[in-house]
Amino acid sequence: MLLKYQLVLTVCSMLLMGVGKDASCRASQSRKVLIIGIDGCRSDALQQASTPYLDSLISTSLYTYDSWHCGITISGPSWSSIMTGTWWNKHGVKANSYANSSFNSYPYFTKRAKEIKPNLRCVQISEWEALNNFVYNDGMDAKIQTANGGDSTTAEALRQLADTNLDCLFAYYEAVDREGHSSTFNPGNAQYLTAIEYADAQVGILLNALKMRSNYASEDWLILVVTDHGGTGFVHGGNSWAERHIWFIASGNSVTPQQISASDPGTYNFLATGIFNSTGVNKNLMKQSPVHTDVAVTALHHLIYDSGIQPETYTAWKLDGKSWLTNTINVNSIAANNSFLVFPNPSHDIFTVKLLNTNSSKQKLFVHDLLGREIMQNNIPSGTSSFTVDLSNFSPGTYFLKLVNGSKTLVKKIELIE
Ligand SMILES: [Zn+2]
């Protein structure tokens, strides 16, 4: 065994030196990333649409419905920020032409991950040609062009997800944005909502396929579902609330489930005169708010976790985003101010909830089942430090315990056992 291990090491070190690729180095790591991109999905429309798969994912996610686009609300600049972890002033993309891009200096996070782990297998599937054709130095092993509409993207994603060597998949869906451009970006537009519901169904299919992976039990997937911008009327690209109000979902063992409501940090967007403005951003608020550049940093952090490198402070990379993984300062501080403990978990009947922030004002408790149905709700008097939740009358299974305090919602998964 030892000899074989040494041999593999040797081949892999050759690979590091650029000698060549070998299947024996493809032993894939357990930490993996799935990014599902839904182009042009307004936050209020997402909340308005019927999205059972995203709702179910949210119940175990760090997520926000109240985040703000801090860059240029156009697809090219936005996806470049999402995938590089830097704003347009670094990656250089200010339009869908991708003119003046600087991906050699500020590459996709997948490229950075491969600097640490050259054998990662990273695949991008996109309906939008620009993502496949205009981005370079991205570390992708394959960039697959699919037809508009989503079905072929999902079919290709299923093929990729069946590959046990896959480490990172970015699946991009364009249909919501196309519907917005053709019939308006508007939560009152039934066609726009239908497009979002279709995207939700694709998410459901991909998440199911993830769980069917032969090694799923030993894998640690971080799932990131993101949009690039909202829209107003038939367009986007400006600074309006409807174009800038966005959402993020991050699910996996490495994030603490919680809802984050963020204040608007402002934007690095361009002014009406066409001059780019970088002075209107409150960097402290940006640290407390999930923003586009966090996606790449969080994905990268998850993939290279055991290297000890903290991507957000690694000076060679000059990234702008922050990691949402629980061992990092910023997001963790948001969690610590609001978090609660549940024990025992699993339990046969009674769960004890201990509130870590007893100063908080009136809170409300909800318990939901796996299908999102509310099975219990209670007011929690202010000053309460702990209370019990008795589920002895319910069937064994997974439930979600939700604490609502004003606009903040915190969720923990609990297991009721026989
Ligand atoms: Zn877009």
**What pLDDT, in 10s, does the model give residues 125-179?**
999 999 999 999 999 999 999 998 878 999 999 999 999 999 999 999 999 999 9
pLDDT, one tens digit per residue, over 63-86 is: 898 899 999 999 999 999 999 999
Q: Whole domain around residue 123: which residue ranges?
A: 30-333
Domain edge (last residue) among 333, 353, 380 = 333
Residues 221 and 354 in one domain: no
Are 131 and 165 part of one and the same domain?
Answer: yes
Give the strand pairing for 386-390 and 374-380. Answer: unpaired
Structure tokens at 231: 């829209």
Taking the model in full, what pTM does it have? Answer: 0.76
Distance separating the N- and C-terminal Cα atoms of the chain: 43
Which of 213, 226, 225, 131 shows the shortest CA–CA distance to 166? 213
Does residue 22 sit within a domain?
no
Give pLDDT, residue 272. 52
Distance from Cα 331 to the centre of ligand 1, integer Å: 26
Q: How far is the CA of 310 from the centre of ligand 1 (A)?
A: 29
**What's the number of domains the chain is made of?**
2
**Co-location of 323 and 343 in the same domain:** no
Asked if residues 243 and 230 have their Cβ atoms less than 8 Å apart, the reply is yes
Helices (H), ranges, 184-235: 190-211
Best CA proximity match to 351, nearest among 338, 364, 367: 367
Handedness of CA 169, 235, 74, 283 (dihedral sign): negative
How is the chain split among helix, strand and coil, in percent rounded to 5? 35, 25, 40
The pLDDT-based confidence of 15 (bands split at 50, 70, 90) is very low
* pLDDT at 23 exceeding the cut of 60: no
Whole-number Å distance, alpha carbon 78 to ligand 1 midpoint, is 7
Which residues have CB less than 5 Å away from ligand 1 (the ion)?
A: 39-40, 75, 177, 228
Same domain, 39 and 79: yes
Question: Any idea what the CATH number is for the domain that residue 351 is in?
Answer: 2.60.40.3080
Give the distance (Å) from ligand 1 centre to CA of residue 79: 8
Asked if 238 and 271 count as a contact pair (C-beta separation under 8 A), the reply is no
Residue 228 lies in a domain: yes
> Of 333, 362, 382, which residue constitutes the final position of a domain?
333
Asked if residue 172 belongs to a domain, the reply is yes
Query: Ligand 1 centre and the CA of 228: distance in Å?
Result: 5
Verify that 366 and 348 share a domain, yes or no: yes
Residue 356 has pLDDT above 70, yes or no: no
Domain boundary among 305, 333, 361: 333
Same domain? For 155 and 300 the reply is: yes
Is 73 found in the same domain as 200? yes
CA pair distance 309, 306, nearest whole angstrom: 8
In a domain, 369, yes or no: yes
Q: What does DSSP assign to residue 271?
A: P
Q: Is pLDDT larger for residue 129 or for residue 272?
A: 129
Closest CA to 298 of 88, 78, 126, 63: 63
Both 238 and 317 in one domain: the answer is yes
